[in-house]
Chains A and B, each alone.
Chain A
Amino acid sequence: MSTLKIKEHFGHEERHKDTTTVFGFFVYLMTDLVLFASLFAVYAVLYQNTAGGPKGSDIFVLPFVLTQTLILLASSLTCGLALLCAKKGSIRGVVSLLSITLVLGGAFLFMELYEFGKFIQEGYGPHVSGFLSAYFTLVGTHGVHIFAGLLFGTILIVSLVHSGFTRGNLRKLALFTLFWHFLDLVWIFIFSFVYLGAFI
């Protein structure tokens, strides 16, 4: 085999490996979807069990949650645009768009923690009723994922600034966008069924 052919062959192998990595990560996301599905099932079963505590419609503030939703949706867009920027080869574009994504994600998480803090201060902690336990578990699990995404994104930005568009960084970027879009997907249902559903 000539050197060129070996190189070609090797390049093909590497690409194949990255496609497999993306596929594997996608499979992980789908198992995560099943995790969220079980938490949604728990919520669907328990949301009427308020045990003398508040109902969803007593404590949720819809404009606040709508703001959260729009922030997360906007961050999903900027994260997708970062991927497009990476394709064009603009490192500054990628880093700035990813930073916007992380700032929006941080704002989202901050609002969620503020909401949790407010509920607990008013005496509506997760120990009050089945409904609140299920609510805190479902929304909290999503929040933990957002936090993991923020860590992932920060590491990605640092390594992009440090070593530019290496294969590893491009792969990480691809996985990060998948992860972030997935979190927005889950939030659609939390927004629709947990928050809007409480007022139906």
Chain B
Amino acid sequence: MNTQTYFEDIEMLPKEDSVGMLAYCAGFIASLALTLVAYFQVVQQSITGTTLLLAVALLASVQFFIQVTCFLHLRTNKSSREMLAVFCFSLFITGILIIGSMWIMWSLNARMMPGDIEMRAYMERQTGI
């Protein structure tokens, strides 16, 4: 079996070995850096709250796309367009699933029983205790 051409034929690896090597090493170093940046941001808490959450989400997304291009070799060229279509559709479904669930459940939570303090205040108002 000709291993040289096989992986090119099934589009798992680029034609040049050096390009493939570079993609893996660059992907690894970038992922390592992004992971460490996210980790130390959270440990040091130099920014907090929503800003920190957004920063971590951004770092994770960037790392996701770096790994998809460098490790999974997902390309936008014509022959891998079907893969790209499936990939984008899955991301779309993923987004709907996660954001939709959070939206519905949090809205539901907000409309549920009031918290302890509000409940007591309400009871006091109603009964005149």
Contact = CB atoms under 8 A, between A and B. Distances in A.
A195 to B, nearest CB: 9
A165 B43 contact: no
Contacts of A88: 3-4, 17
Residue with the greatest number of chain B CB neighbours at <10 A, chosen from A84, A87, A193: A87
A76 B10 CA distance: 20
A63 B24 CA distance: 25
Interface of B is mostly: helix
Interface stretch (A29-37, A103-111, A145-153): A29-37
Interface residues of B, number: 53
Nearest to A40: B98
Interface of A is mostly: helix
Residue with the greatest number of chain A CB neighbours at <10 A, chosen from B3, B45, B64: B3
Interface in B35-75: 35, 38-39, 42-43, 45, 48-49, 52-53, 56-57, 59-60, 63-64, 67-68, 71-72
Given A23-B83, A188-B63, A84 B13 contact: yes
Contacts of B3: 86-89, 165, 170
Nearest to B95: A37
Contacts of A45: 101-102, 105
Contacts of B102: 41, 44-45
Interface of B: 1, 3-4, 6-7, 9-13, 17, 20-21, 24-25, 27-28, 31-32, 35, 38-39, 42-43, 45, 48-49, 52-53, 56-57, 59-60, 63-64, 67-68, 71-72, 82-83, 86-87, 89-90, 93-94, 97-98, 100-102, 105
Give the 4 A-B residue pairs with the shortest CB-CB distance, closest first.
Answer: A41-B101, A192-B60, A30-B90, A37-B94
